[in-house]
Chain A
Amino acid sequence: MKKKEVGFIAVMAALAAVLLLIGAEQLLIHGPLGPYMRQTEFSHMMVELLLFLYSHGFISPSPLLWYPGSIWSI
């Protein structure tokens, strides 16, 4: 592949990854879809586990998720 093609794909992949991560974090865990995700035991447990690990310093969320309004920036 040419440099142009690689560059194009890299930019698009990065944009898609950012939007996907933020969308998933905001909507599925903490956002308006959070309550639905918490309706099942498994997904509820996963959400609680993530929050527990973060609050006790076991995980450090990606700087990507430090945008205003993110749960990690609270």
Chain B
Amino acid sequence: MVSGIYLVYLIALGRLFIRVLRKGSWPPLTFESMITGFLMGSGIWITLVCILSALQKGGIPVLRMAVLLTAIPVFALEYAGFRKHRFFVWEGPKEAGWRPVGLQRYLPALILTMLALQIGRMNVAMDYDSLHYGLRSAYILDNGLGIYEDLGNINLVYTYSKGFETLILPLCVRTSYSFVLAFNMWLTAGVLVTIGKITSRIAGKSWGLAAAAVASCIPAVTNMGITAKSDIITLLVQLFILYYMVGFTREEDAAGRTRCLVLGGCACLFSYGLKPTALVFSTAVYGMSLLYALFTGSMKLSLKNSWWLSVLPAGLPVLGLWIRTCRMTGVPVTSVFTSIFGLFGFHVKWPFAFADIPSNGSEGGIPEQLRFLTGRLFHMAASPVGADMDHVIIAWGTGLVAVLAAAAVLAALVWRREKTRQPEITYLWTVFLPLTVVCLISVRKLWQVDGNYFMLFYTMAVILFMAVLHSCGRQAVTRAMAFVVGPLLAFNVLVTSLTNWSGFIGFSTSRLIHGGFYNHLEENRIRQAITGNVAIWDILAADPRTRVLAFGEHPEVLVYPCNVQSYYDLTGSGGNVRLVKTLDDFKEFLRYAGTQYFYIQSGYLEEGSRAYDIVRYMIEDGSLADIRYEYGNVIASVNLDGAYPVTPEESLEEFYTSYRLKDKE
């Protein structure tokens, strides 16, 4: 509920901006004004956080206070406008009296069931990536001084464009992850509604409802709803581009077309701040939209249009977020784009080191590459089994998407001379076909494909299928296709029930008496206490600004309520293994990171490993002091400046006897 109110606040904040653009006139409560409100409101909010952070006045309590103070006038103005106009246009004027009939009546129940399935396990199915970076924004993004503070974290994931994480900072409560996850669930519902609305615009409300229901059964879409990753919001904003541009194809006057084109551009621009890969996918979608407008001769825009100003709340947050990444790393966008920015003169700063696209390394001639691609596509459509499919099964498009995409293509070919050529469908094909090519290149190139990379493709396949089938106008085919899709939907419900991004099976246990939220902090404390980390927890929990390097199982060791980065962060994927090559390099990194403590999990270090040697050498030369042991776990203060008195030989002897090494197999 709290996250829902926050979402309404963002929409209302954005609608206030729209009111300014409309010279004070209150915008009617249409779906378009709400999504535009969300887009503008989110942009304004992130810009505000960037400004506060630049003044070093960040910090989550300050941000919450800012929400509270601004929420009062924002809601008051919105309510005043609503009371004056009493204008609520949720349904289109043509189908205002529409109600679902027959089997359609069960579709809302199916959608709600699929959402409820995710909500039921939301609190107990925290996945690897969410625990790594999505849920720890209070420690690794804004730890008191705003998002521009360099918190000394080395891994790539801490340098991503943090648009989503910045947006939800006021919901980052230390005791519970649920507020963040719930916000993502609202956005997932928004994705389904937007899919329904896009389809409704083309084919009518019955088809829109069917599209939303089918999309709700795709594990790749709904399974991402209970993560704290930015995939869902990125998908939502990319669907906004489609929504605006489908509207563009229907607008007849220059003012309406300008509004749709500018807002589509704003959605594209805003998505750049959410996820590095949006730079490819959003640009592809909007770029093709522009080409469509150009080649169909509909690019007649009015330059004297107040909507052009909406570029500001969409572009400023991206600028602010890219400045953060650039200050930290030397390049505005990390991930696989560093080499591209290198061409423009940007250089990655020490201690970061980013790899290029992790290629699958398959070489050979065209037949061999085609065989590889076909094999992968087969596995992705029918059977995601194998090492490179580990991240597909947890967010799978399933065979349903393959059938829908194939049906859309085949139907468009079979009935090509009929209504399948209406402008909205031509526009969707203009975007869908290049998007398919981009997806195929990704499938061919990447070493490990993730199911969530193709969410936009999956949802577009659903929309296109509905639009094309509707335009064929054949009732018998539609009915028969319902029987074809039905068993696939049932299979998808089963797969969604059995899979999620964390691999957890089951639901949260229900409690009648509770504090209004799921206490993850207490759960983490108890879990650490069971593994003998009671005193260590108290030391690390005393100050959220404490900086720790943890040697232990990743991401399990990241649950301490302070700024923890793991040894895996440093040397694993997204890190920089060269930092542990020599002890001097490592110490230099520790100085950069401002690391105060080493935490070493019992049974993690292995004799002969680099991590073990580093710890031994650090004790030996007095760089680790005040070493304390608790059931084989270790906490030690980093003593690079010699602030603590040390007795290295005794300390090393004690380490050998008190720390429990990893059992030899």
Which of A4, A20, A36, A69 neighbours the largest number of chain B CB atoms within 10 Å of its CB? A20
Q: Which B residues are in CB contact (< 8 Å) with A18?
A: 382
Is the Cβ of A12 less than 8 Å from the Cβ of B476? Answer: no
Flag if A33 contacts B499 (CB, 8 Å).
yes
B418 to nearest A CB, angstroms?
11
Give the docked Cα–Cα distance between A18 and B403 (Å). Answer: 10
* Chain A residues whose CB sits within 8 angstroms of the CB of B476 once the complex forms: 1, 5
CB distance from A67 to the nearest CB of B (A): 8
Specify the main secondary structure of chain A where it touches its partner: helix
**CB atoms of B385 and A20 under 8 A apart:** no
A4 to B417, CA, bound (A): 13
Contact A5–B382 (Cβ < 8 Å): no
User: Pick the contact of A16 from B378, B386, B487 — CB < 8 Å?
Assistant: B487
Cβ < 8 Å to A, chain B residues 463-499: 474, 476-477, 480-481, 483-485, 487-488, 491, 494-495, 498-499
How many Å from the CB of A57 to the closest CB on chain B?
A: 25
Contacts of B393 in A (CB 8 A): 27, 31-33
Instruction: Check if B382 sits within 8 Å of A16, measured CB to CB.
Output: no
Among the listed B398, B411, B477, B505, which residue makes an inter-chain contact with A23, where contact means beta carbons less than 8 Å apart? B398
Q: Which residues of A contact B398 (CB under 8 A)?
A: 19, 23
- Bound CA span A12–B411, Å: 10
Asked if B385 contacts A27 (CB within 8 A), the reply is yes
Tell whether A4 pairs with B505 under 8 Å between CB atoms, given A20-B488, A33-B495. Answer: no
Given known contacts A20-B399, A23-B491, A33-B498, is B385 in contact with A12 (CB within 8 Å)?
no
Which B residues are in CB contact (< 8 Å) with A9? 477, 480-481, 484
Q: Once the chains bind, are B485 and A5 in contact (CB under 8 Å)?
A: no
B402 is an interface residue with CB less than 8 A from chain A: yes
Instruction: Determine the distance from Cα of A66 to Cα of B604 in the docked complex, in whole angstroms.
Output: 43
Known A-B contacts A5-B477, A12-B481; the reply to A26 vs B411 at CB < 8 A is no
A36 touches B498 (CB 8 A): yes
Interface membership of A13, Cβ < 8 A: yes
Given contacts A16-B403, A32-B385, contact A4 B481 (CB under 8 A): no
Contact B411 A24 (CB under 8 A): no
Q: Which residues of A contact B495 (CB under 8 A)?
A: 23, 27, 33
Of all chain B residues, the one with the shortest Cβ separation from A70 is: B383
Q: Give the Cβ gap from A27 to chain B, nearest Cβ, in Å.
A: 7
Which residue of chain B lies nearest to A11 when distances are taken between CB atoms in the complex? B410
Contacts of B410 in A (CB 8 A): 8, 11-12
Residues of B within 8 A of A67 (CB): 378
The reply to whether the CB of A51 lies closer than 8 angstroms to some CB of chain B is no
Contacts of A15 in B (CB 8 A): 402-403, 406
Interface flags for A9-52 (1: CB within 8 Å of B; 0: not) read 10111011011101110111001110010010000000000000
Residues of A within 8 A of B (CB): 1, 4-5, 7-9, 11-13, 15-16, 18-20, 22-24, 26-28, 31-33, 36, 39, 67, 69
3 shortest interchain CB distances as A-B pairs:
A19-B399, A26-B383, A22-B382
Show the binding face of B for A, using Cβ within 8 Å: 378, 381-386, 393, 398-399, 402-403, 406-407, 410-411, 414-415, 474, 476-477, 480-481, 483-485, 487-488, 491, 494-495, 498-499, 505
Q: List 11 A-B contacts (CB under 8 A).
A: A7-B414, A9-B484, A15-B403, A16-B487, A19-B402, A20-B491, A22-B382, A23-B491, A26-B382, A32-B385, A36-B505
